[in-house]
């Protein structure tokens, strides 16, 4: 059972480049989300999805797009990378919205992104 798989683990981009961070889960979870982790700021929610075809913005959505065409996959797209997007990105999934039934979230190992 792989859980939540993120790829790549490391990436260096030039300013203005685009890329997609991949996230896949094999637990049939409805809820998936993306976070960025910056020193001294904890994790901040970028976007989340409560099921296939449904996405919504979190705390820091600007500069990022998401889509949810299947239950398993929730890719995060950077359309035009900026140095301010240098961060560690985590994808998470859970059976339902975390505030319902106090559902545990499962996290991927993270993607360390540097934009130069």
Partner 1 sequence: AQSVTQLDSHVSVSEGTPVLLRCNYSSSYSPSLFWYVQHPNKGLQLLLKYTSAATLVKGINGFEAEFKKSETSFHLTKPSAHMSDAAEYFCVVTRGGMRFGAGTRLTVKP
Binding residues (CB under 8 A) for partner 1: these are 4, 33, 35, 40-45, 48, 56, 58-59, 90, 92, 97-99, 102, 104-105, 107-110
Looking at the Cβ atoms of 17 and 105, the one nearer to partner 1 is: 105
Q: Select from 1, 43, 56, 47 the least CA-distant residue to 24.
A: 1
Residue 47: its H or E element: strand 43-51
Structure tokens that stand for 50 in this block: 């409560």
Nearest residue (CB) to partner 1, 21 versus 92: 92
Minimum Å distance from CB 64 to partner 1? 14
Q: Which is nearer to partner 1, 17 or 50 (CB)?
A: 50
Count H helices and E strands in the chain, helices first.
0, 11
């Amino acid at each position: 059972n792989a859980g939540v798989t993120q790829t790549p683990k490391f990436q260096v981009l030039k300013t203005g480049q685009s890329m997609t961070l991949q996230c896949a889960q094999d637990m049939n979870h409805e809820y998936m989300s993306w976070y960025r982790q910056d020193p001294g700021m904890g994790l901040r929610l970028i976007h989340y999805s409560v099921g296939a075809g449904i996405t919504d913005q979190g705390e820091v959505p600007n500069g990022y797009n998401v889509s949810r065409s299947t239950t398993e996959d929730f890719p995060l797209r950077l359309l035009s990378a900026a140095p301010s997007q240098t961060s560690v990105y985590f994808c998470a999934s859970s059976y339902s919205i975390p505030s319902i039934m106090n559902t545990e979230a499962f996290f991927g190992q993270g993607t360390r992104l540097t934009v130069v």
